[in-house]
Every structure is written in C-alpha cells, then in structure tokens.
C-alpha cells in the first residue's frame, strides 16, 4: 500500500463523507452524459429551470475562465496533498436534516456553476421531490454560522491499492463522533456537511468515481461535473475528465461538497486515476 498524501490543516476547507446502503440499492441506469454530468434513468429528477431573475446571482459567480486562470500553472513541482477537508457539524433539529428521505440521486438541486465564494448555489428552479428547505437553510451548509454549525479540519489520505489507482474507502465514516454538538443520543454523529477544495493537472484519461450518500456535488473548473444530490442510499457516479473539454497540461480546480443528513450507515468511497492533488492557497 502506497500513501500518496501529507497532512495539511486548513480551517476554511471542508471534507467528503457519505452514508449509504448495500451496493444492490444503487439505482439502475446510471449514465454519463457528454458533459460529464451523471444522470439516472429512473426516479424523480429536476425538470424545471431557474426563473428569469436567477441571473441576478451572476455577479456573485466567477466564470469558468476566471476560475481556471486562478489556478493556471503546473503541479509537477509541488508536493502532492491528500484531499484536505472541513467537516461542519449540525444538530439533528436543523430543518434540512432528518426531514427528508429519498431512494436515488436527485439531480438539479444546485446551479451548474459554482458560486463566487466557491460554494454551490441553491437552484430556485428545482422541480423534483423536496430535499432542501430554502435558500437560507442551504446557505448554512458550507459557511461557518455560530450557533448553527461547528467546523473541524481533517484530511482524506488516498492510497494506491492498485497501480495507477488511488482510493479512500470507508464503510463506517464518522469523522466527528462525540465532537461538536455530540452524537445526540445516537451511536455516531450523523449530521454534518463536508467540503474539499483542491486542484489537479489534467494529463488526459483521468477518471474520478464517488460512491456514498447523502448529497454529493463535484465541480471541475467551476462547472458541475457530478450531481448526486438529495437523500439516498449509497449511489455511485463517475466523471471522465476527457468529457469536460479540459486542456492537457493545464491545472484546474476541483471542488467537492457532501452532506450526511440522516441516521443510517455511513459509507464513503473515492477511486480516481488522478495521481496528484494540490491544495490551493485560501482566497484573498
């Protein structure tokens, strides 16, 4: 086993986690579109679009070109990191936790472009099964809000179990047991969000696969590449980086957002052929 990471603690960044059920509960018909965004052939999906006034948020978002320029360069001369992350603990009484249930990935809960503060933007035009209470409650997921959440920096160490393939795999992912607001009478602390900001140099042919629950959104170069939103058993999605229109040799940001919102199991699995991740400096 080869460990491909070193520990870096950045309080403003946040981790990947997931809870899930056995493999047989994975929705059938998962396919990858030409844009690299995962979609599913069964179940309820968002079909609406954002209202006309949704463009009011455009000033708060960086376009893909701006984000790419922020990370221009090559990581070959930099030491590779693990996936540096922050977990934010919430209480079970939060309106978005222990409120909703689902059985598949609910596509379209967030906008297709990352927000200007490098966090997802709630999609007011989502027309699928209810999964999030409001814009205001969702805004708390990936921002420090005293009295509402508590943040803890952690790291996911990727290991090379198979030559050229790097993974992190846990069937009992509970990174903040007995921390924050505590377990609230449960065996584990189940109510948290996770956030990762990293970057990689695209060489061609790379694949990134995630399996777990609940919500998971991954953005590459500021654009949504993997959408496994909503409450659901463990589901899997893969992104072929070649489908995203990237330029070989160019360094791109990758931003990953997850939420564990319901007492159940906790599974989290990443498998990728991306060999080197580098944590960018905090904005500003």
What one-character-per-residue DSSP string does 8-26 give? Answer: ---TT----------GGGS
pLDDT of residue 109: 98
* Polymer length in residues for the chain: 284
Please list, in sequence order, all residues whose beta carbon lies within 8 angstroms of the beta carbon of residue 55, skipping any fewer than 6 positions away: none
Residue 193's DSSP bridge partners are 88, 259
pLDDT of residue 63: 44
pLDDT of residue 266: 83
pLDDT of residue 78: 61
pLDDT of residue 151: 98
Q: What is the pTM of this model?
A: 0.74
pLDDT of residue 55: 41
- pLDDT < 50 stretches in the chain: 1-76
């Amino acid at each position: 086993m080869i460990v491909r990471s070193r520990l870096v603690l950045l309080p403003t960044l946040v981790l990947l986690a997931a809870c899930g059920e056995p493999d047989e509960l994975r929705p059938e018909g998962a396919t990858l579109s030409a844009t690299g965004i995962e979609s599913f052939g069964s179940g309820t999906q968002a079909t609406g679009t954002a209202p006309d006034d949704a463009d009011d948020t455009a000033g708060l978002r960086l376009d893909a070109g701006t984000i790419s320029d922020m990370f221009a360069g090559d990581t070959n001369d930099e030491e590779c990191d693990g996936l540096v992350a922050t977990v934010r603990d919430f209480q079970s009484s939060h309106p978005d936790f222990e409120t909703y249930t689902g059985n598949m990935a609910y596509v379209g809960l967030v906008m297709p472009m990352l927000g200007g503060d490098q966090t997802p933007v709630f999609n007011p035009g989502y027309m699928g099964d209810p999964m999030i209470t409001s814009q205001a409650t969702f805004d708390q997921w990936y921002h420090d809000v005293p009295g509402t959440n508590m943040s803890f920096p952690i790291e996911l160490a990727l290991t090379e179990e198979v030559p050229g393939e790097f993974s992190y795999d846990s069937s009992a992912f509970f990174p903040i047991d007995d921390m924050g607001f505590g377990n609230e009478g449960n065996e584990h602390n189940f109510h948290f969000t996770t956030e990762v900001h990293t970057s990689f140099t695209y060489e061609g042919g790379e694949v990134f696969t995630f399996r777990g629950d609940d919500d998971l959104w991954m953005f590459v170069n500021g654009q949504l590449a993997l959408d496994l939103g909503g409450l659901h058993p463990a589901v899997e999605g893969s992104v072929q980086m070649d489908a995203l229109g990237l330029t070989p040799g160019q360094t791109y940001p990758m931003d990953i957002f997850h939420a564990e919102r319901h007492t159940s199991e906790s599974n989290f699995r990443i498998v990728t052929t991306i060999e080197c991740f580098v944590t960018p400096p905090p904005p500003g």
